[in-house]
Every structure is written in C-alpha cells, then in structure tokens.
Amino acid sequence: MPDTDVTRPQPLVALLRHHLLAPAISCFLGVLSLATVFCFHFPELLTTREFRAVYTEDFARTLLLVGLAAAFFAGTIAVLRDQHKRLAFIGVGTATAAVLLGGTEVPFDGSVDDTSFSLGLDWFVLALFFSALVFIPLEHALARRPVPVFRPGWRTDACYFFMSHVLVQFILILVTTSTSLVVSTVKVPGVQERIDGLPFVAAFALAVFLADLAQAVLHRCYHRIMVLWRFHAVHHSSPELDWLAGSRVHFVETVLTRSIVLLPLLFLGFSTSVVNAYAVLVGIQAVVAHANLGIRFGWLEYLIVLPRYHHWHHARHLDYWDRNYAIHLPVIDMLMGSFKLPRDGSWPEEYGVLKRETVPVGILAQHVAPFRGQRTFDEYVR
C-alpha cells in the first residue's frame, strides 16, 4: 500500500534539542579530531597519496579547528545538562588529547615520503564527517520512516565504514593487481583507440552502463551461487536501511566486486579521468541508494536507481530476493528480466535476510561465517 500512514519525523529543531545530540556530537568530533592530529603526525603511515591531492593542508587545519571547538562546546553543554556524561567526557577527553598532541599547530613542512602501503585514515575522517553532516539531517527531515541515528547495528556498520576507508589503499592494490593481470594478457585491436577518442560525457555514460552491467551480472551471481551468497548475505543482514547501512559489505565481496566492475573499464581503455569520475559516482550513489529518504521521484525512479528502487532489493520478501540488481540504471534490470518496482509508490515493510539467524551479529563473526558450515539456499530463504 502507499506509504501514507507512516509517522513522520518531527521538525529538525526537535533533533537539535534531543538529549543525546550534544554528547554524541562531542564524542564524534572529538574522536575525529584526534584521528586528524595523528594524520598530521604520521602522514606517511596514515594518509594516502591519491587522496591527499583532493584537499589542502589549510583546509584540513581549518576543519580540525572547527571540530575541536564544536567538540568542546557540545561536550560542555552536555555535562552542564547532565546528558550522557560518558559520551561527553569521551568527546572532551579526545579533543583535549588532540590539543595536547599539537592540535592545529602540529608542524608539517608539506613533504611526505610515500611508503609502499599506508592506511587511509584521512579518507575515513573526511568521508565520515561530511556523510554524517549531510545525511543525518536529511534522513531526519525526509525519512521514509523514523529510524534513530543510533539504531540497532549502527556500531557494526560504523566498523565496516572504518574498515573500507582505512584499508582503501590495500583494497586498491588487490583490485589493481587482479585487473591489471587480466588486462595485460588480453588485447582487442582498435577498441581502446575508439574509446579514447570519445568525448568525456559519452565515454562516462558508456562506462557507467558497462560497469553497471558487469556489477549487476555479478550481483545476480551473489544471489544464485551458494558460495557467493554466504558473503553477500552479510550486506543484506541489516534490519534497517540508512546512509551507513550500505557500508556493511564483507571484505571478500568488496575486493571481488570492485575488481569485476573495474575490469571492463580498464580492458576497453577508458581514461583515468573517466574511471575516477565513475568511482565518485559509485561512492555517492551507493550511499544515496541505501539512505532512509522517503522522497517520491516519480518517473526518475525508472531512469536512475534511487532509494525506493534499491530498498525493494533489500526487502525481507521472497518475491524481491532476486530482483533489482542494478546500482545505477534500472534499464539494466529491464534487460536482465529482474526489474520489479511497485507502481503504487509503496515501500518494504521489513529489511534483511529472510532468515535472520543465518547471519551472526558483529563484524568479526560476519567475516568468519562464510567460511564455516555448508548451508543450502533453503536454510537461508525457506
């Protein structure tokens, strides 16, 4: 039925008055500020060369200053109001540690001796800060249904978010190695030259279509091949969908999916600028598709994968377990015969795997689970 009886969230001002908001902000910004200071102290170990090119030192120091000031202010307000003092003290304590370790005045001469491998802590800090800044208010104001910011399972999803961003260079190394080996051994004369001659917009549109086709075919395999479903079931195990839930992806699936999706782009010779632009699109649309946004997009839902489309893929409903595999273009599912979207504008009532007990709780248990036992599909879906 149409989503007309869902309780709408209160105005955003109610969120700002919530008793958990000030201590949560203090804790969140205090921890990120301390992580940022560590990045200034150990740039070779904790930051990646590719991502350092995206931001400037002045920008990072200004953001750190704002984060420290907000952490101290929000923490002080929380303590004075006797609101979740434990969170508030963590926020003030980590912010204090960041200041004692140099704060915004950490000496840095701008030169970094890149090592063969480093952690993407800078990528994690900036991605988490801006994702939370944009999507938490949006999901509160435009929610499909009210879901607390600190919903059940948020810690697990935050750990996945941390892992995928901090280990970004390691993931890139695995993906690049696997795809480069294939691309270097297989050549199609004339194809790369034609692709290289396309205008950027045309090349980008073609790259999106081909990458989404490769992803959708692999996605269908995840649902139909038992050994792959064991890994993919982790992604489907969240009982709620929001901007953070999309991060819940098994490490093996992350590497396999990125390798398969990148393979046709490198094989056909798309330029670095096109591949980078596609990588940005993937990051944005993956968050948006899982977001708790109850906006009606009308006919656009048949052109672009938007929240309602992908939410039905995550529905705890047997009829949709094998539907809506595309992450960018619904036309891919139309071509594959896997397109299914209610015309009445309705949303799923429940999310998650059909038998929740088949996926354990917690990131460590979920990473070990696919390697244990020999469950059949019936044990997952019957």
Q: Please identify, among 98, 131, 164, the residue that sits at the C-terminal boundary of a domain.
A: 131
Query: Would you say 74 and 23 are in contact if contact means Cβ atoms under 8 Å apart?
Result: yes
The answer on 264 and 308 residing in a single domain is yes
Write the pLDDT tens digit of every residue in 150-189: 888 999 999 999 999 988 878 877 887 777 766 666 666 6
Q: What confidence tier does 375 reach under pLDDT thresholds 50, 70, 90? A: low
What angle do helix axes 168-185 and 154-166 make, rounded to 10 degrees? 60
Domain around 48: 12-131
The answer on 165 and 16 residing in a single domain is no
The answer on 114 and 226 residing in a single domain is no
Q: Please identify, among 131, 163, 181, the residue that sits at the C-terminal boundary of a domain.
A: 131
Domain assignment of residue 280, yes or no = yes
By CB neighbour count within 10 A (0-12 exposed, 13-18 middle, 19+ buried), where does 4 fall?
exposed
What tokens were used for 10?
């209160």
What pLDDT does residue 12 have? 40
What tokens were used for 179?
């795809």
Domain assignment of residue 288, yes or no = yes
The answer on 116 and 240 residing in a single domain is no
**pLDDT at residue 111 tops 50:** yes
What pLDDT does residue 2 have? 37
Domain assignment of residue 309, yes or no = yes
The answer on 364 and 256 residing in a single domain is yes
Domain assignment of residue 274, yes or no = yes
What pLDDT does residue 18 have? 52
Domain assignment of residue 358, yes or no = yes
What pLDDT does residue 99 have? 96
Domain assignment of residue 213, yes or no = yes
**pLDDT at residue 346 tops 60:** yes
Question: How many domains does the chain fold into?
Answer: 2
**pLDDT at residue 71 tops 50:** yes
Domain assignment of residue 161, yes or no = yes
The answer on 108 and 66 residing in a single domain is yes
**Residue 120 CB coordination number (10 Å):** 24
Domain assignment of residue 222, yes or no = yes
The answer on 311 and 168 residing in a single domain is yes
The answer on 235 and 290 residing in a single domain is yes
Q: Please identify, among 116, 131, 146, the residue that sits at the C-terminal boundary of a domain.
A: 131
The answer on 334 and 198 residing in a single domain is yes
**Is the model more confident about 173 or about 250?**
250
By CB neighbour count within 10 A (0-12 exposed, 13-18 middle, 19+ buried), where does 317 fall?
middle
Write the pLDDT tens digit of every residue in 100-109: 999 999 988 7
The answer on 361 and 230 residing in a single domain is yes
The answer on 180 and 104 residing in a single domain is no
- Lowest pLDDT segment from 10-24, 262-276, 284-298, 311-325: 10-24
The answer on 168 and 86 residing in a single domain is no
**pLDDT at residue 50 tops 80:** no
